[in-house]
Structures are given as structure tokens and as C-alpha cells.
Structure 1
Amino acid sequence: MTAKTIGILVTGHSPAELAGEYGNYADMFATLLGTFDFAFKRYFVVDGEFPESPSEVDGWLLTGSKFGVYEDHDWIRRLEAFIREVHAAKVPTVGICFGHQVMAKALGGHVEKFKGGWSAGPVTYTRSDTGEEHVLLAWHQDQVIRVPDGAEVVGKTDACENAVIRYGDWGLSYQPHPEFSPRFFEGLAEARKAAIPEALFEQVKKVEVPIATDKIAQEIGEFLGRNR
């Protein structure tokens, strides 16, 4: 059986001081999904590098980013249009953080900075579809405030009502970062600590609880790898 090819739409760059040890966000997802028989193609859409067709791979994965989906950048508007093409072509798609938000916005949802502030560090996500709770790493203030018509919210936290969204058989998206290892997250928090309140940084600068990485990796891999 031929390996499925997953296109990773890279929407941001990892901090330069961490890239040497941890690679870029696409590398982290390739590691996360390393137990699956996938080949990966990387498209740095943040730099204007886009696929030619929504059907040139078997599945798509959208990464996180330091940008907001509401910011006025040509590549973001172009990405929204591409997501709508992928949706119409029914190519399985998974989004993470910024990817989660831009999928929602592209299909008619609304994203803004959450008035309740940041979510950062280990956060417990409650799933309505499985009845499980997962501790995952969060790093965001922006949230999906209104989901698109037809989308189903299947995961939330106390401070994020629309944290995991399913779009039927087409899409699945997560606000948290299953691709972040605890050590990378600690480096990220240090590199970008000016972005969050000092008291919050002191709470999250060390990750000392188990993270449900393997559970979510399995869910993502099965979603992207299923036969259409």
C-alpha cells in the first residue's frame, strides 16, 4: 500500500533560538505522526508558498502561528480561500491553534482576542464526543468565538468554549498544541514571555504534568489516514 501524503501548511516560524534543536513546526508534526505511514510535503504559506491544487495530497494539516487570523496579510486571505477549496474538494483537514482558528474563519466563523485573557501551559480539555479529559499545552489569547454553520464543538475548557471542532468527515481542529513537547513549550514560554502577563509566565514556565500527546496524535493520524 502506498503511503498517504500529508501536506503541512506552515503558517508561522518557531523561535529562531529553538529552531536548531527542535526544527520548525512542520518538523514537529512529522515527529508527532511518526508512527503512521505518511509522507509529508511542506508548504510555507506564511512566506507565500502555496499548493497548486487542494487535491495534490491525501490530507492537509495547518500549523500554529504568532499571527492573528484577523490581521491584514495577503497570505492569510489567500489561505482562507484555499481552505474553502479544500473543503469543497472534501480532502481531510486538521488545524492546530491558528490553523483551528483560520479553518473556522474561512467557513464563516468568528475569531477574536478573548476578553478573559490568555490560556497558557497545561490545560484540561473536556471532550463531549468521547467523554474523556485530556491535558494539553495551550498558548493563545485568540479564540473561535462563533463556530461556522454545520460545525460541531466536541471539546472545551473552562476558558475556551470552542476548543475542539469537528466538521463532519472533512475536518477536525484543536485550539491546543499536541505537537509541542514540554521542553519545547518551556523554551517557547521563555522566548515569548513578554507576550503574556508575568504572573502567568511564572505559572507555566515549567511543565510538570503528563501531556496527552500520544492520544491526540493517534486521533489526528487516524483522521488524516482514513480512506475517502
Structure 2
Amino acid sequence: MKIGILQTGHVADDLVAENGDYPEIFATFLAGRGLSFDNYAVVDGQFPEGPDAAEGWLITGSRFGAYEDHPWIAPLEQLVRDIYATGRPLIGVCFGHQIIAQALGGRVEKFSGGWSVGRKPYVLNGEEVNLNAWHQDQVTALPEGAQTVCSTDFCAHAALLYGDRIFTIQPHPEINRTYIKGLLERRAVGVVPETLRQSALGELDKSTDSDRLADLFALFFREKRIA
């Protein structure tokens, strides 16, 4: 199954050698599940001809805010609406989660409660999963047709399901230990409160449930369901 990756950012130069850029990270995350990938660096103005260019779509994370004024934001929002209209499966992660909600009429804001970083517990399909988080922005108002399928005390809309068309999630199941360690050691200093950074560093040796989310992503791409 051909998946179009809509790349909305780049991995920082000091981390890309160890981790690859977003397309490589997602290809590794979803490897062995019968998916192939075409990449469209929409952050650099590279867009597909339309929603029929792939059988399913995935929007990556980004250092940018969905509410910021960048020339590629409006065309990406239109592409989201076009994909939604076709019924082709679409998955969004972090920024992808946010821009999809915004494109369909929801609201995204910088959360007054601050940052969520490192390994965090979530309940999805009635089961606890631990995933890496790295965000301050959140979806704060849902678009019509969106259902919250995961919520925490910190993040009210941690995952959303739009019928059998779109699934989005705020944390980063694609981020492995090497990448989150690099973020915490090189990018978080002076940005994330030190108490949060140290707490996240203390969780580095604990496993996450990324493989379970990769299976769920593949299920949604093929069958447009998460359970």
C-alpha cells in the first residue's frame, strides 16, 4: 500500500545523522507492515498533485505551530480537506494531529499548562500505552465529526478519530530512545523547564509501546479502523 508522507518539518541538523529526517523515521517506525512511501516536503513547498497520488496519507510533526503564518499552511489545510472528501485514510502525528483539526474547523493553541516531554502514559482502546511526547501546542476545540478517543489530565484531546477517514494522535510513537534522548540533551536545555527535562531523562531506559501503535497505524491504513 502506497502511503504519501506529508513532511511538515525537518529534524535538526545535530540530530539528523543519528536519526534521519522525518520520512526515514516514519519508514523505520512502520517497517515490515507491507507499506511503501512517497515523500512530499510540503514544508519546502513540495505538494502532491492531489489526494489520489497515494492510497493513504500521513502528516508528520513539525517545530512550527499550526496557527503560524507560513506559505505552505493554507495549501496543506486545503489538501487535508480534499483527502477527507475522498475518504482515503489519513493519519496525523503531533503537528499533523493539530493541523488536521484546524483545517476541519477546530482550534489549536499554545497550551497554558506548558510542555509535555518524554515517556507518558495514555489509554487507547481501553489499554494503557506509553509513548514519547514532545509538545506545547494542543487541540483545544474539536471540529465537527471528530471524536476524542484518548484523553489525559494534561492533554484533553490526545487522539482523535474522524469516523473511518482520519486518525490523529498528539504524542510521537515514531520517536525512539535515541531521538528523544537527543532532543532532551541538545534541544530542551533552556526551552523546557529543567524539572521536566530531568524527569524525562530519568525515564529513558523504560520501554515504549511504539510497535503497538505502528500496528494500529497499519490497521487504520488498510481497514480504516483502530480496533
Name the TM-score class by shorter chain. Answer: over 0.9
Distance 1:19 1:211 in 2: 21
Residues 136-177 of structure 1: per-residue CA shift (max 9 Å, x gap): 000001000011111110001220010000011100000000
The count of corresponding residues between Structure 1 and Structure 2 is: 223
- 1:15–1:191 contact (8 Å) kept in structure 2: no
Distance 1:210 1:80 in 2: 35
Residues 5-49 of structure 1: per-residue CA shift (max 9 Å, x gap): 000000010111111121011111111111111110000000110
**Which residue in 2 is equivalent to 1:104?**
101
Distance 1:156 1:29 in 2: 24
2:127 to 132, 139, 144: 132
- 2:56–2:90 contact (8 Å) kept in structure 1: yes
Q: Say whether 1:201 aligns with 2:176.
A: no
Distance 2:184 2:8 in 1: 19
Matched to 1:117, the amino acid is G
1:205 is displaced (CA, Å) by 2.7
Distance 2:41 2:23 in 1: 9
Residues 78-105 of structure 1: per-residue CA shift (max 9 Å, x gap): 1111101111111100000000000100
Distance 1:161 1:126 in 2: 12
Distance 1:74 1:15 in 2: 21
Distance 1:93 1:191 in 2: 32
1:227 is displaced (CA, Å) by 7.8
Matched to 2:95, the amino acid is F
Runs of 4+ in 1 over 3 A off after TM superposition: none
Distance 1:227 1:169 in 2: 5
1:60 is displaced (CA, Å) by 0.2
**Which residue in 2 is equivalent to 1:50?**
47
TM-score by length of 1: 0.95
Matched to 2:219, the amino acid is E
**Which residue in 2 is equivalent to 1:186?**
181
1:195 is displaced (CA, Å) by 2.2
1:78 to 66, 70, 75: 75
SS at match of 2:51: coil
1:226 is displaced (CA, Å) by 2.9
SS at match of 2:52: coil
Distance 1:55 1:208 in 2: 42
TM-score by length of 2: 0.95
**Which residue in 2 is equivalent to 1:159?**
154
Matched to 2:15, the amino acid is L
Identity %: 46
- 1:63–1:95 contact (8 Å) kept in structure 2: yes
Matched to 1:6, the amino acid is I
**Which residue in 1 is equivalent to 2:213?**
216
- 1:123–1:157 contact (8 Å) kept in structure 2: no
SS at match of 2:68: coil
2:91 to 79, 89, 94: 94
Matched to 2:166, the amino acid is G
Matched to 1:165, the amino acid is L
1:142 to 133, 137, 144: 137
Distance 1:6 1:66 in 2: 22
SS at match of 1:172: strand
Distance 2:115 2:15 in 1: 22
For structure 1, list consecutive stretches of 5 or more residues without a partner in the other structure: none
For structure 2, list consecutive stretches of 5 or more residues without a partner in the other structure: none
Distance 1:140 1:48 in 2: 24
- 1:80–1:102 contact (8 Å) kept in structure 2: yes
